[in-house]
Structure 1
Amino acid sequence: MSTPAFADAAPSSAARAAEVWASLGSVTDPELDEPVTELRFVTGIEVDAEGRVHIGFRLPTYWCAANFAFLMADDMRAAVSSLPWVRQVTVDLRDHMYSDTINQGLARGHSFKATFAEEAADEDLDELRRTFRIKAYQRRQEAVIRHLLDRGWAVTDILDLDLPHLATLPIADPETLKLRDRYLEIRREWGGTSDNAFTSAEGEPVTPATFGEYLSLLRRVRINTEFNGHLCRGLLQARYDDAPTEGEPTLADFIAGRVAKREMGGHDQCRK
């Protein structure tokens, strides 16, 4: 996705705005594990000569979960604040039932619990983040495993693969390379200390006997996440009358793909 245009911006301001945009690309929707920039949640960036940054932020519906909204807004603030020249970051969540509450809490440097007080007494954002990082690990892992299966790798060879060899596999296709690198990135967080390329999030080994069941688990995570991602894009397009980016999948594409696969009798299989 291209960086938004900034009218009448001096070259230095435009360069700094591009840096901000690149930093925001590292921030993901916690449930979907997709960058907020690619999801079109970021509506604009303003940078002034004093190093102050203003970020416009929107979500697919007025009722999107407050904890998810806060997580993304806080992650955006943290990512951009890490740039050495940034002096202040304002994340401006718009068109949301808790816009004012979240914007004020972030401006004061408050946590989610401090921002929502009694309403968030039992909320643990760290546990929520952990839950969805595990799902992100599983989804990224499944993408790499499916790629290897599609290219004829045997299950035993996949399970024997170690991290150094996975990291050096020759991959010419840019999209496949991106999948592999994103998985290796999150593999540092999860999967324990084993050198095995593919383990459960807790570091437990996957064996040929458990591979089919494990792959089914990963597949369920992928389908659920893909559905939610297409739904979010569809709601965002309907709410703001946005045309989808060229080549961007829609909810209709997802449903049509699932129906077509069912009618053809297709389903994911693991090679043994």
Structure 2
Amino acid sequence: MTAVSDTPSTASTVDGVWEALRTVRDPELDTDVVSLDFVASCSVSDDGVAHVRLRLPTYFCAPNFAFLMVADAWDAVSQVPGLSDVDVELLDHFASEAINSGVAARAGFVTSMAGSDVGEAVDELHDLRRSFTERAMLAGTDLVVRPLVRAGTTPEELVTMTLRDAPPSDDLPRLRARRRELGIPAGDDAPLVVDAVGRAVGIDDLPLHLRKARSYQVGVDANTSICRGQLAARYGL
């Protein structure tokens, strides 16, 4: 790898690459790859090439998730001004070669995996991405609504509330962002509690909806803890 320049412009570009990587999420954990410590290294060479190396908690992490993260990292870093090229690779994974070559060639997951035995039955990734974004939205609903319930907000009040009525928190902007990704209204006047297609949840369906939202958030927390532990054990972090 070409040596990294210490010039201020290069340092600024490296910072831009790191910020770009913070927009790349693990689709299951709904957390960015930088916070998860999935970025093994990040540098920019003298000739303006961004070199990013990603790592995952286990050798057998699902290849469809891995492909999404590598492809999203390539797309995000490619938008950083001042780069001449982007080089993103996944390390230490059983499908690394196929994923890396497929992303570099801008091939889809199915094309990249052609002829390989990855044990997956996923034909297209956009459906998978939407499914996990829907789960992330539900988990975000739990984080925003649960404090209201604890404060004594009644079900009758919840079903009439809008996003404007939700108390400020770090979770509210993320909930709005996931709704926008799904094409669901996320403005102040939009209903606070909606289903996966944006319909307001009624009083009869609210208890089951909130239980499902809570179960997704519990699952995200548990899986995040497991992944962090596995990654730390694998790489001695």
1:10–1:218 distance in 2 versus 1, CA, 3 Å: same
What does residue range 1-272 of structure 1 map to in structure 2 within 5 Å?
9-119=6-116, 123-163=123-163, 165-166=164-165, 171=168, 177-190=169-182, 192=184, 195-242=190-237
Return the letter of the residue paired with 1:117: A
Say which SS state the counterpart of residue 53 (structure 1) adopts.
strand
Return the letter of the residue paired with 1:188: R
Say which SS state the counterpart of residue 170 (structure 2) adopts.
helix
1:8–1:134 distance in 2 versus 1, CA, 3 Å: same
Return the letter of the residue paired with 2:175: Y
Q: Distance in 2 between matches of 1:149 and 1:121?
A: 40
Q: State the identity as a percent.
A: 35
Gaps of 5+ in 2: none
Q: Distance in 1 between matches of 2:230 and 2:212?
A: 27
Give the 4+ runs in structure 1 shifted more than 3 A.
118-122, 189-194
Q: Distance in 1 between matches of 2:201 and 2:84?
A: 47
TM-score, normalising length from structure 2? 0.88
Say which SS state the counterpart of residue 68 (structure 1) adopts.
helix
Q: Distance in 2 between matches of 1:197 and 1:124?
A: 31
Return the letter of the residue paired with 1:202: V
How far residue 8 of structure 1 moved from its aligned partner, in angstroms, is 6.7
Per-residue deviation, residues 240-264 of structure 1 (Å, max 9, x unmatched): 111xxxxxxxxxxxxxxxxxxxxxx
Corresponding residue of 1:263: none
Q: Distance in 1 between matches of 2:96 and 2:30?
A: 23
Q: Distance in 1 between matches of 2:7 and 2:150?
A: 49
Corresponding residue of 1:257: none
Say which SS state the counterpart of residue 204 (structure 2) adopts.
helix
Which structure is higher in RCO with an 8 Å CA cutoff and minimum separation 6?
A: 2
How far residue 54 of structure 1 moved from its aligned partner, in angstroms, is 0.5
TM-score, normalising length from structure 1? 0.77
Matched residue count: 229
How far residue 190 of structure 1 moved from its aligned partner, in angstroms, is 3.5
Q: Distance in 2 between matches of 1:138 and 1:118?
A: 36
